[in-house]
Amino acid sequence: MRFPLPREGFRDLSRRLRIAWLLFARLRLRRALFQAEAELGWLGWEQVDFFDLQVNEEIRKVREFENTQASLLNTAAELSGRKAALDEELAREKELHDEAQASLAQERAPIAAQFEEAETRRRQKLEAVERFDRALAEIARLEKQLEARSLSFMDIERPTAAIRAQARVVSDELARLPGERTHVSADRATASEEAARLESEIANFRAELRRIAAAASAARDRFAGASRRLAAEMRPLVRERKKSDLRRSHLDRKKQTPYRLIGACMADNGLAPRNQPEALEKVLAVREREARLTETFAELQAACAAADAGMLLAFYLLLAVMLIAVCVIACHFLHY
């Protein structure tokens, strides 16, 4: 005993899946036909002369679009030229700024080196002055000690030979210390004078470095001001250029409709462009494919309509129950 329910149901399911696929394919095909007819109209709109009011109206729209786009293109070119001039001016300002900074850096380098060298020498001289001060203090301390010992020797009534020898040593040391103090004081004065002279040189170097730093800062400020000014002038140009480009793109999209209507009229009358006659063949080929697809679609719809509605309802209910059962079983196994 045969059961026609599954067989007829699967046939109907196959037909409906084909219908869904054909709907998608027909949508793509109609889009391709629109593009092919628009291309045909774009290539041959200037040679169309059917004395048809509708076609002539579309041609008028195309001419208006073309004139408007040409005006927008000229405006965009003018804006681009003005922006290019501003870019060149900014590049010149940047080049002048870089040259000024490089010149100032080149001028600063030897002064900075001399400043560091003078600072090092001044620090060394000040350290020498500190050492000489400590030496003078040490001489003064030693001199007091020797004077105290000399007085202590003088208080002895009957000095021995050893004491007299020590007294002579102390006396010789006391006689030597003034000369050493004079020598150390002279060295200290020389180091102090050299440090003072270096301080004057360092002050001059500092002044030169401050002057160069001020000049570099002024150059940076000038370049920053020029950059802000040029950027402020560029912003409206960029906005206008974007608006012009967006409007031209919008007109390009709007032109597709009149181009498509003109192309469809050309294809209906078998009129091909003089320079590219293959555009007409492309439109006719796409139309033929669409006609075959539409015929197949109509046949499938007729077959679906002729099927037994009750039998199909039972099939789809059974199919739904089976799918639900499979899902429940799968979820049960996945859970465990």
Q: pLDDT digits over 63-103, tens only?
A: 777 777 778 778 888 888 888 888 898 899 999 999 999 99
61 in a domain, yes or no? Answer: no
Which residue from 22, 42, 21, 99 is spatially nearest to 276, judged by alpha carbons? 42
Does 208 fall in a domain? yes
Say how far apart CA 34 and CA 45 lie, in whole Å: 15
Q: Is residue 263 included in any domain, yes or no?
A: no
Report how many domains make up the chain: 1
Phi-psi region of 52 (alpha: psi -120 to 50; beta: other; left: phi over 0): beta
Q: pTM, whole model, 2 decimals?
A: 0.52
Length of the chain: 336
**Residue range of the domain that includes 250:** 83-255
pLDDT score, position 5:
57
- Domain membership of residue 123 (yes or no) is yes
In a domain, 214, yes or no: yes
pLDDT tens-digit series, residues 37-49: 888 877 776 766 6
How high is the pLDDT of residue 2? Answer: 47
User: What is the model's pLDDT at position 1?
Assistant: 38
pLDDT of residue 109: 92
Q: Does 319 fall in a domain? A: no
Residue 51 confidence (pLDDT): 53
pLDDT tens profile 114-156: 999 999 999 998 898 899 888 888 888 888 887 787 777 777 7
Low-confidence ranges of the chain (pLDDT < 70): 1-6, 45, 47-56, 312, 335-336
CATH (domain of 207): 1.10.287
- State residue 27 phi and psi, 5-degree precision: -65, -45
Assigned domain for 113 exists: yes
pLDDT of residue 230: 86
